[in-house]
Structures are given as structure tokens and as C-alpha cells.
Structure 1
Amino acid sequence: MRKWRNAVVTAAWVAVGTAAGALGAWQLASADGGGDAAHSRPLDEGAVRRALAKAADAPPVRPATPTSPPTSARPSPSSSPSGERSTVRFTGGSATVECRPDGTVRLISWSPADGFHIDDDVERGPAPVVRLEAEPADDDEQEDLPYEVRCAGATPRVKVAPDMDDD
């Protein structure tokens, strides 16, 4: 009788632990809800393409005030894909860029890597070179990582750039 009771108690503990784990996994999986919430991890290329397609169908996002910088990495609905889009990866994150037939590049969207954020002073283009800067979350320990992206034909090239700060 005692062995049977131990087996029942063990089975109950296993069932409770499994249910708690399943509930936690379900909450994590449904936390974003598919909305426009910010992501805490970089998006893969397929997720970036889906988000861009969804954003192209949405009405334009207006800044809160005329002097506030844009807080969104969405393309404007008026921009048409006139070039080849690619995702480039770098130490501080990843970015989707468009290499245009005229030799210019346009920064479409970006996503920081864990432990980084992208500085607000982003040069999106279209231009011969676009720039962005990944800043470590712990600014005292690591240097900022400035990058520039150019296109060689339809192929984007990312490299470390001179520091963009004026200080």
C-alpha cells in the first residue's frame, strides 16, 4: 500500500510540474499576440519580410510632434521595392537594406541583438552609404559599434565605420 501511495504522489508532482511548464510555455508563445509589439530579439529574414509586407499595407505612422525623430523602422507606404532587398548581420544586430539600380542603398528596417540597442541617429538613405550605430546596453564596458552599408550591385556590404558621434 505504501509503494502505491508513493507512486501516486510522484505522479501528481510530475503532472503538476508538467502543467506549470506547459502554462509557462503557452504564456511566452502568446505574449506578443502577433501585434506590433517591439521584439526583444532580432527577427529572422522571413519575419522581417512579413512585417514589411504588413507595414506596407498599413496607413503611415506619424510622429507625435513635428520635431520628434521617427521611432519606427517601417518603410513608408509610398516606397516601392525598386531594388533588391537583403538582410545584413553585424555584431550589434541585423538590418534589411534595399540595393537600388542607381547604386544607392536604403535602410528598410533594423533589429538590435540581445544586449544592444540601435542609436536614434540612423541615416536611412537612399544614399550611396547608410549608417547606423549599435550601442551596448552597458555603455561603460563596451564601445559603440558604428556601421555603414554600401551596395556593390545588388549585394549589400556592411563594415565598421568611423564613429558617428560629434563629441
Structure 2
Amino acid sequence: MIRMRKWRNAVVTAAWVGVGTAAGALGAWQLASSDSGGAAHSRPLDEGAVSRALAATSASPTPTPTPSVSSPSSSAPSEKASDRSTLRFTGGTATVECRADGTVYLVSWSPADGFHIDDDVERGPAAVARLEAEPSDDDEQDDLPYEIRCGEGGEPRAKVVADDD
């Protein structure tokens, strides 16, 4: 009986080792066969790459369902509804829309290496959008709270403001 139990334990252990080895090999194979190991997405796009990607998606629009009820706030369409730009600042980048009504909207943001963006982002649409870039591992460096506004020409501008904390 004891021999049978030892033999069963050895078989179970061998099975677990085999499953673990197979899982590791499968993971390594998937990483090796993936596109650049995911490194292609580790850098933010520059403004030209964003423009090309947007142009490619607008060239072949996907059909969108039309709403059955029109919005009461809709008015005559303006010639230019919004203007998207990539804004670079110390601590990261942001894709920003300067809208025809003068408001700003943060579409997305990405921290630079060594920073993270605080969770309480005020993305708009509003006259001013706010976000804060915080150093990841340096207690000596100050947080960088930003106000983002749209200028006269529809260009977004980021300005470091006094930290409320």
C-alpha cells in the first residue's frame, strides 16, 4: 500500500511538472510569435502618426446607426466641430480636442517614463481641463499639476499651476 501511494505521488508530481512546463513553453512561443513582443505599443505616437491613423480611419468609416430621436440641443453643424492635437508636456502627452465652442476635452493621456498621471483628471469639455503628472519614484521632485486650455487659433496650451495640496 505504501509503495502504491509513493508511486501515485510520483505520477501526480510528474503530471504537475509536465503541465507547468507545457504552459511555460506555450507562453514563450506566444511571446516569440507576437508582433515585436508588444514593444510597438510602448511609445506614444507623434502628431504625424496620429494624423495618419485618423485619416486612415476616416477614409473607411464604419456605419453608425442613426438615432431615432434627434437631440434637442443639436444646432446647425459648424464648419469645423473640433480640432485634435497631441500635446507634449513634462510628465507625459495628451490628445486634446479644441472644440468650436472654445472648450477643451482631453481625449486620452499617457505618462512619460518615470511619471504617472493622477486619477483625478478633469477631462472636460470645459474652459479648462486639468491633470497632474506625478514622479513615480522620486520623493524630491514635485508633482506637476497642469491646466490645459485652447488658445485663439485652436491650439491647446498646457501650463503648470500651483499645487492645491
Range into which the TM-score falls when normalised by the shorter chain:
0.5 to 0.7
Partner of residue 46, structure 2: 44
Q: Per-residue displacement from partner, 1:41-69 (whole Å, max 9, x unpaired)?
A: 43322454538x59x97xxxxxxxxxxxx
Pairwise CA RMSD of aligned residues?
3.1
Q: Which has the higher helix share?
A: 2
Greater RCO (Cα-Cα under 8 Å, separation 6 or more): 1
Among candidates 12, 37, 40, match of residue 31 of structure 1 = 37
Report the number of matched residues. Answer: 112
Task: Letter of the 1:44 partner, please give it.
Answer: D
The 1:164–1:95 alpha-carbon spacing in structure 2 relative to 1, beyond 3 Å, is farther
Partner of residue 156, structure 1: 156
Question: How far did 1:139 drift?
Answer: 4.1
Task: Letter of the 2:102 partner, please give it.
Answer: G
Q: Contact 1:116–1:136 at 8 Å: present in 2 too?
A: yes
Q: Contact 1:147–1:160 at 8 Å: present in 2 too?
A: yes
The 1:137–1:105 alpha-carbon spacing in structure 2 relative to 1, beyond 3 Å, is same
* d(CA) in 2 for partners of 1:164, 1:101: 30
* d(CA) in 2 for partners of 1:30, 1:97: 29
State TM-score, norm by structure 2: 0.57
Partner of residue 90, structure 1: 89
* d(CA) in 1 for partners of 2:136, 2:118: 11
Q: Report the identity percentage.
A: 67
Structure 1 consecutive aligned stretches of length 4 or more whose deviation exceeds 6 Å: none
State TM-score, norm by structure 1: 0.56
* d(CA) in 2 for partners of 1:132, 1:139: 19
The 1:33–1:139 alpha-carbon spacing in structure 2 relative to 1, beyond 3 Å, is closer
Segments of 5+ residues of structure 2 without an aligned counterpart are 1-31, 63-79
Q: Contact 1:105–1:125 at 8 Å: present in 2 too?
A: yes
Question: How far did 1:161 drift?
Answer: 1.6
Q: Per-residue displacement from partner, 1:80-106 (whole Å, max 9, x unpaired)?
A: x83111111111011110001111000
Partner of residue 134, structure 1: 133
Helix, strand or coil at the partner of 2:100: coil
Query: Whose radius of gyration is greater, 1 or 2?
Result: 2
Task: Letter of the 2:45 partner, please give it.
Answer: L
